[in-house]
Chains A and B, each alone.
Chain A
Amino acid sequence: MEKFISLKAIVAPMDRPNVDTDAIIPKQFLKSIKRTGFGPNLFDEWRYLDHGEPGMDNAKRQLNEDFVLNQPRYHGAQILLARENFGCGSSREHAPWALLDYGFRVVIAPSFADIFYSNSFKNGILLIKLETGVIDNLFNDVAATEGYELIIDLETQIITKPDGSTVKFDVDEFRKHRLLNGLDDIGLTLQHTDDIKAYEQRRRTEAPWLF
């Protein structure tokens, strides 16, 4: 997993609640057996006017010019500003894979769905929860200023706006630690092999039908 320390980048607004993982990456692209290559199909049904299928040349497809990510002012955005319950629905990790592959490293929203939240951090994407009022202001700021950028610093947990004002954000200590260091969860857990074996030995007596 790639580390996340700090980022200065353009913000793109996704102004609708309950953006589900089916919308983030539609099911036909889940047939892939790889972790990469989902970026061109991120938000496929909103982004293109025609129906997308795996293997199509996306450069030749008809873009939905009204869709936010197709607007030139948001090109190169690495921070997505969203509404409540972002990432709800299916557990597909293809959703954070698609966001990451497109270039997003941060999503800011009032709330996130649980499984999406966990999946994103495991892929080096920082999710930031802020109060609705703060989010409303950010939507206004982004709309008002072309090329609106934020600086996000994970170590200090501070967002700095273009005018120099700051917003503090919370993040779980364990997730922050893993993200700052780009740590591999499996490697960390395997350091506790003896604990897992001891647990199994005890459970074989307590609940032998589980083995």
Chain B
Amino acid sequence: MAGKTLYEKIWDQHVVRDNGDGTALLYIDRQLVHEVTSPQAFEGLRIAGRKLWRVDANLATPDHNVPTTDRSKGIEDPISRLQVETLDQNCTDFGVTEFKMDDIRQGIVHVIGPEQGATLPGMTVVCGDSHTSTHGAFGALAHGIGTSEVEHVMATQCLVQAKSKTMLVSVNGKVNAGITAKDIVLAIIGEIGTAGGTGYAIEFGGDAIRALSMEGRMTVCNMAIEAGARAGMVAVDQKTIDFVKGRPYSPKEDQWEQAVKAWNELHSDADASFDTIVNIDAANIKPQVTWGTSPEMVVGINSKVPDPANEKDAVKREGMIAALKYMGLTANTPMNEIEVDKVFIGSCTNSRIEDIRAAAEVAKGRKVASNIKLAMVVPGSGLIKQQAEKEGLDKILIEAGFEWREPGCSMCLAMNADRLEPQERCASTSNRNFEGRQGQGGRTHLVSPAMAAAAAVTGHFIDVQDM
């Protein structure tokens, strides 16, 4: 019998019943909950008179709407405030554990899950947020769901699912100095396209992925959805197990050995077959910068803004022309001549301690350039903020002219007060450069934390290796 992929192993372990129509009832071990996609689900339960199937499988925190400035006065925007208060009330009514806005453990759901050990290898993890793919870094099957499915998991602890196809993206060899997880995943998306992973669960493998820290693997899996794949995953190794050990929700001593034994099986078998395999040469990856309005519109920093005239496909060419118009860019402009107005370092993609360290390393002893209106660093959780302050990173960043903020999703999607004004150009460590994502008319360029910090101190995009 042929071996199984990691995806198939976790899938098989979670099938409650085969529905016989191409779908299965899949058991969900963990649901993370935030304020934006849950109110209608709780309301649905109330209307139907249903309870949560397993209250302790849920963990909640507000993240999208929370202010990143002084929180002592609460949330100014009454609609945002109502949404966060609704989450508080729902969690109280249904008994769900919530890290509220004033809790040191509050943060972006995809940061706090792993940080608390609430995300564990081999789990099925869902959340009403597409970046739930992040948790796949732990050898978990994790994906975003809509609000109807949030309610379904709340009420039944299961999802009706059709099995995905499997794709292995193998990043072979070693990356050059200064190349980060963000550059790797942007290069992958540039290669396979934003719909390349549609219908697939992607497993990221190869030497360059194995060499990444857990933070780096989370960055890569986080953006699997930007390649169209609902789930991204990385096999378990010693780094995974070391990261998980001793966290509040991790298995305690009496169960630890049993858990580790099971987790050590969480890799694709040598003779497993994937529906698709993509090979990428790590040595060819340059620091990446997006130039358009889709994450696949990405080039190396040493390149120029692509010319639509060279695109043969008519639909794509029109898309490029529209993107350049929206972005206010001219074809063939060298990427390192593009000046930016704002810099955002944060989001569920890049707000972990390693990201802040990388930004601080570039910022150290330098100053934010005079043309930069705002450079902000938004840690992913209260605990990361605390850790960064313990290491003195906040002082380095503030000294350089960055603003040091409270944790949340912030300007990744600008649901709170942090946003771009029309035509403002931003070097952002977030995950989406869609039109209007960071504010109506705002122009987003996706980069790594080091590249964002480099743009902040020089005022334009630059290869961080040249500094």
Q: Contacts A115-B146, A196-B25; is A22 near B130 (CB within 8 Å)?
A: no
Interface centre among B40, B120, B262 (most CB of A within 10 A): B40
Is A114 a contact partner of B198 (Cβ separation < 8 A)? yes
Q: Tell me if B175 counts as interface (CB < 8 A to partner A).
A: no
Q: Taking the complex as formed, is A57 at the interface, i.e. its CB lies under 8 A from any CB of chain B?
A: no
Please tell me if the beta carbons of B194 and A18 are within 8 angstroms of each other in the complex. yes
Q: How far is the CA of A32 from the CA of B319 in the complex (A)?
A: 31
Let me know if B146 and A118 touch, CB within 8 A: yes
A interface residues, tally (CB under 8 Å): 58
Choose one: B158, B195, B251, B415; the contact of A31 (CB below 8 Å).
Answer: B415
Binds A, one of B103-111, B149-157, B279-287: B149-157
- Using CB atoms, name the residue of chain A closest to B19: A174
Q: How far is the CB of B171 from chain A (nearest CB, A)?
A: 23
Q: Mark A1-20, 1 if CB is under 8 A from B, else 0.
A: 00000000000000011101
CB pair A186 B86 closer than 8 Å:
no
B67 CB within 8 Å of chain A? no
Q: Please report which residues of chain A, range 57-111, place their CB below 8 angstroms from some CB of chain B when the two chains form the complex.
A: 83-85, 88-93, 96, 111
Please tell me which one of the listed residues A32, A112, A113, A199 contacts residue B16 in the complex, with CB atoms under 8 A apart: A199
**Taking beta carbons and an 8 Å cutoff, which residues of B are in contact with A?**
16-17, 19, 21-23, 25, 27, 29, 36-37, 39-40, 43, 48, 50, 53, 56, 64-65, 77, 79-80, 82-83, 86, 120, 122-123, 128-130, 132, 143-149, 151-152, 155-158, 160, 162, 194-195, 198-199, 225, 228-230, 250-251, 255, 258-259, 262, 294, 315-316, 318-319, 322, 413-415, 432, 434-437, 440
16 chain-A/chain-B pairs, Cβ below 8 angstroms: A22-B436, A35-B40, A45-B435, A91-B132, A93-B146, A93-B148, A112-B198, A114-B199, A114-B229, A119-B146, A123-B148, A189-B152, A190-B156, A199-B16, A200-B27, A203-B27
User: Sorted from nearest, which 5 A-B pairs have the closest CB atoms?
Assistant: A209-B251, A93-B146, A119-B146, A33-B39, A91-B144
Q: A91-B145, A92-B146, A177-B21 are in contact. List 16 more A-B contacts (CB 8 A).
A: A18-B194, A22-B432, A26-B436, A31-B65, A35-B43, A51-B440, A84-B315, A85-B228, A92-B36, A114-B230, A185-B152, A186-B151, A186-B155, A190-B155, A209-B255, A210-B123
